C-alpha cells in the first residue's frame, strides 16, 4: 500500500533528479515552446540550467521570468544564475532586489 507521504517523497526525489538533467532540460524546453510566457516552466528551465552549470544561459531565461513576475524567488534564482559564471556584482544586485521586495525573504 502506498501512502501519500511515500508517494510524495518519491515524486519529490524524481523531480529533484529530473531538475538537473539534460532530459529535464529537454522537457522544459518543449513545454516552453508550447507556452513561452509560462513563468513556472521558465523558472524550472532556468533552475535546471543552473544545476547543469549553464549559468549564462540560465540568466537569460531568468531575466525573462523577472520581467513576467517580479517576486523575491525569481530575483533570487536570477542571482544564482548570475553567480554561476562569476558575475558576482550582478548577482548581489539581484539578491538585494529580492530583499527590497520582501525584507524578510529567505530562500
Question: What's residue 19's pLDDT?
Answer: 61
Write the CA distances from 83 to 36, 50, 65, 89, integer angstroms. 25, 10, 17, 8
Question: What's residue 106's pLDDT?
Answer: 75
Tens of pLDDT, residues 33-91: 999 999 999 999 999 999 999 999 999 999 999 999 999 999 999 999 999 999 999 99
* Residue 7 clears pLDDT 50, i.e. is over it: no
DSSP for residue 21: S
Cα–Cα distance for residue pair 24/16, rounded to 1 Å: 10
* Residue 6 clears pLDDT 50, i.e. is over it: no
* Residue 9 clears pLDDT 60, i.e. is over it: no
Amino acid at each position: 500500500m502506498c501512502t501519500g507521504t511515500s508517494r510524495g517523497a518519491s515524486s519529490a526525489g524524481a523531480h529533484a533528479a529530473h531538475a538537473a538533467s539534460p532530459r529535464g532540460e529537454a522537457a522544459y524546453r518543449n513545454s516552453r515552446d508550447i507556452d513561452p510566457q509560462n513563468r513556472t516552466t521558465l523558472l524550472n528551465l532556468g533552475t535546471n540550467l543552473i544545476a547543469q552549470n549553464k549559468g549564462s544561459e540560465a540568466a537569460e531565461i531568468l531575466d525573462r521570468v523577472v520581467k513576467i513576475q517580479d517576486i523575491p524567488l525569481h530575483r533570487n534564482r536570477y542571482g544564482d544564475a548570475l553567480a554561476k559564471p562569476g558575475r558576482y556584482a550582478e548577482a548581489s544586485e539581484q539578491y538585494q532586489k529580492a530583499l527590497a521586495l520582501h525584507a524578510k525573504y529567505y530562500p
